[in-house]
Structure 1
Amino acid sequence: MKQKSVVSDWKLCTNTIVYDHEAGSMIKYHKELTSKGYRALIFSGDHDMCIPYTGSEAWTRSMGYNIVDEWRPWFVNHQVAGYIQVYDKNLTFMTIKGAGHTVPEYKPRESLYFYKHFLNGIPI
């Protein structure tokens, strides 16, 4: 007998989740949390047509933190997977090469790599 799923069919884009697109800047929240020692990883696909990585890069830079690891490539399986810049106060910004807005959908291997490293405190 085939088991019946308790979860409905997956739909990539729906109107069932309603949220405010005009919530304003979240920079103050990032500053407050990182100044208390919480680590933050901000990442963007470099092919994201919804929110270009250049915007995410600009707001992370605008926080005014010192750079502790200069803009450089990061690698998965000896291939460039994107670029990364690390700031003091535990703030990291990175791009994922060839990924769109939903990074893990486009680049699952690279996503698993950087998630595992970040969550385990291992440098990317």
Structure 2
Amino acid sequence: MHEKSLAVRKRMFGRAWPYRANLRDGIVPSWPEITSNSLSAPACVNDEVARNWLNNLEVRKAIHTAEESVVRRWELCTFQLEYDHDLGSMIPYHKNLTSKGYSALIFSGDHDMCVPFTGTEAWTRSLGYKIVDEWRPWLINDQVAGFIQGYANNLTFLTIKGAGHTVPEYKPEEALYFYKHFLDGTPI
């Protein structure tokens, strides 16, 4: 909850986004807490498919997860995790690391209803880095998989066409492609 109206920073196409939001100290509410008073939970928190997949014995073995004796069942939306609003914006951390030459790949699904790609695009631009690779499509099998823009200091912003908040869940082939290329240092 915000104490007062947020300062607004103008961004491309006339849209606006909160800048330097002051967050109230304290425990961040979980999705189950947020949705407990509503008639239906937002679709982005329906974790049935992911939960069934993560709890499949063959999958657990394949991804080298903790034994069932350690983690009996994986739950994605739970009341068991608590964390505080304590750091505020992560933008200074990104700026610090990328200004030292560490590569960073920032990506967003273009169908993400939790964190729209326009906000992610806005904060990557807010770093003030020179554009070294203009906004362009990136392709898999001669099909547009999303759009990419490269900045100075090894910062790359990338969108994934048709992906929601958890990109590898929505677009596994595309996620593997851009992760592999980023880690290998080859062009996307």
Q: Distance in 2 between matches of 1:9 and 1:64?
A: 44
1:68 corresponds in structure 2 to 132
**Aligned AA (1:11):** E
Mapped to 1, the partners of 2:159 and 2:84 lie a distance apart of 26
Aligned residue number for residue 46 of structure 1: 110
Q: Which has the higher strand share?
A: 1
CA deviation profile, 1:4-32 (whole Å, cap 9, x unmatched):
73432222322323233574111110110
Q: 2-side partners of 1:59 and 1:24: how far apart?
A: 14
Aligned to 1:93: 157
Structure 1 position 106 matched with structure 2 position 173:
no
Report deviation, 1:113: 0.3
CA RMSD, 1 decimal? 1.7
- Aligned pair partner of 1:115 in 148, 155, 179: 179
Q: Distance between the aligned counterparts of 2:82 and 2:140, measured in 1?
A: 36
Matches within 5 A, 1:7-86: 7-20=71-84, 23-86=87-150
Runs of 5+ unmatched residues, structure 1: none
Helix, strand or coil at the partner of 1:61: helix
Separation (CA, whole Å) in 1 of partners of 2:86 and 2:80 = 18
* Count of aligned pairs: 122
1:79 is displaced (CA, Å) by 1.1
Worse-superposed segment, 58-67 or 10-19: 10-19
What is the identity, as a one-letter code, of the residue corresponding to 1:25?
S
SS at match of 1:98: coil
Amino acid corresponding to residue 117 of structure 1 in structure 2 = H
User: What's the TM-score, normalizing by structure 2?
Assistant: 0.61
Letter in 2 for 1:69: D
Residue 68 (structure 2) pairs with residue 5 (structure 1): yes
Q: Which has the higher contact order (CA 8 A, sep 6+)?
A: 1
* Deviation >3 Å, runs of 4+: 4-7, 20-23
TM-score by length of 1: 0.91
Range 40-49 or range 20-29, more displaced? 20-29
The CA deviation string for residues 52-98 of structure 1, in whole angstroms up to 9 with x for no partner, is 00000000001000000000000112111100000000100010000
Secondary structure in 2 matching 1:109: helix
